[in-house]
Chains A and B, each alone.
Chain A
Amino acid sequence: MILSIEELSIGSRDRTIVDGVSLAVREGEFMALVGQSGSGKSLLSQAIGQLLPPNLRASGKVLFEGADLLARSPREMRALRGKRISYIFQDYQGAFTPFRSIGAHFDEYQKVHGEKSRTARRDTAAEALESVGLDAALLRRYPFQLSGGQLQRAAIATALLLSPRLLIADEATTALDSVSAHRVLELLARKQRETGCAILFVTHDWRHVRRYANRLSVMQEGRIVESGGKHRILDHPQHEYTRKLIEAAPILGRSLRSGLGEEGQA
């Protein structure tokens, strides 16, 4: 168990948005957290890294590698974030500071996490870009010169740069067109196989993950209504809401919903 969330609640002074949620991510697995917008799934993912907006408070326990993250000081969290836990967000434009080159991001990132040698930083950055199928020459480019798919790949490359044990992808494919999204997911799955890091994939559309996820949790209005293996949930949903969610996003003409014998095998 790399991440184990116990009775986590998130709320502002007058409102509870996430209410006593428990969730576990196992070592090296692809876990999907599915729910409609407003269900609290994004906040949940942000609470793990203590990235909540300042007006929101989290209570409960977030055990990462056995220690409670909510009890950590901001300084300790900074050392963890990016190194042991990293994030990919929906808005790929926002993954990089607009006036800094892609290379500057890679460089700064490694520097603050303790890599002293400039040449080592540069080599690692080039390697990382190439490992996600991008040209190392892109390091000199600025974010606005890259396409959406390229940016999201570069964002993944930064997120995996320091071999984190847990990668949290918050709607990482939502803003991409379906072809790019497909490629990004494939890339994530491949990197996961290579590095063995666990992935917590937060999405509003279970179709994005039906092929890659090992397990699924379904979230509704701040609670987890159903958790379990992907096939069990998609083929035999227990909860009314899960059933609705699946019906609301039908896939055309295939009998096996969970993606065995997927359409359009490329």
Chain B
Amino acid sequence: MNLKATIGMETHVELDTKSKMFCSCEVVETDEPNISVCPTCLGLPGALPVPNKTAIQYIVMLSLGANCKITNEGMFHRKNYFYPDLPKNYQISQFDFPVGVNGSLEIVLDEELHSVEIERVHMEEDTGKSVHMGSGRIDSATSTLLDFNRSGVPLVEVVTKPVISTSKMAVAYIEELRQLVIDLGISKGKLEKGNLRFDANISVANEDSNELGTKVEIKNMNSLKSLEKAIDYEIMRQSKQIKKGESVIQETRHWDENKQVTISMRTKEGSADYRYFSDPDLPNMIIDEEFINNSKKNIQNLPTDKRKTLKESGLSLSDSNYLDKGDKWLYDLYLSTVENTKDSKSTFNFLTGELQGQMRKAEIDELPDWVDSEKISNLINLFETNEVSFTSAKDILAKLLGEDIDPKTYATDNNLIQSSDDEEIKTLVTSVIKENQDIVERLEDPEDKLVGFLVGQVMKSSVNKVNPGSVKDILLKELFG
């Protein structure tokens, strides 16, 4: 029996607005509890919500970025459930008229493009935070403290259709969505800060079946790594059960990071009744053409556009996707550098391998301001044309990250320019062959390790730097014809 998995993702994106969704409290990043609260976000009697226009603009931008159809008259609904950190004991959310519907996101898996269909993009407000004292878990806590700084922070929920088939695809989708919100400038997109929080709905069914299996919702995955592992684990768990002839229970499970397993949280008997109804405190959201056009003005250079530009520069799809998902400065540096080097692959390798590697090692987060695409492209051109060795190029780069030098001048001044003068090399080769007759006799073929030794001897005997590639070429020609 061949089984297939079907995955749908629900992702909450925390918007990077100055103030909260329904009040003017500042959105703060702090451990000091309850410092940014007011009657509205505390749910005090008589307080009323007033929508944040910027947040609505952001959600329209996200909907457009995810190729959704915009609902021109969106509605706010109340989602009713009791929880101590939900101040009104209902959450303002959207039900039947979400801002965006029927969209899609293009994602990259290895060298292939895939499309992930988006079912809906809707707005809601965040809850407060419960801090369980004594144990960290609600069931064994000695007391619980509440922090309402987060209460009312605007969230967007992006829900995919059940169209994802592997954990890798789910990860690629989240990476794409994360990049989209960063490039739109509507969220900081930091997973470690909880700016993006995702749940996965996973079902496993017979490969030939047209129907989906029983849906299990997985929560508490805090990183892309745990997302990947949790999905893989869950697919395995459900597959095992199905193969044993047991049925999968519809439920919500919790990813346990320590044990690396999913654990049952609660069994859903049908779905919870949230008694959604239109919030009488909030008029409908009128999103007209003008509002949409204004939102469009703020949208430029999205991940798909960036990928297209990168591909046109000559990079492979996966390399394009890598740069697309990286820092903005690296993307910009690559594009301006490759203008001068004309060699996309070597530029990509040098920037993502050497430059990023050395910066990491030197613990530099930002490129020093004297390092520009001109210097980097000059440096790449130096070793590409064999004027300096790759080793020298690496040394020059290290120097460049520390102080403002001109790569070419530095190479010349420090004797790093290697000679490619064949006549000079030929003289050196001839004398080395003479001096090492015993070794030359033991040589069997051009692949012999001893060739390397002889190249080394030539390099050593040279006063000027010579290009080891040229030395090897000439040496082999002398020895094997």
Asked if A and B are interacting partners, one says no
Interface residues of B (CB under 8 A from A): none
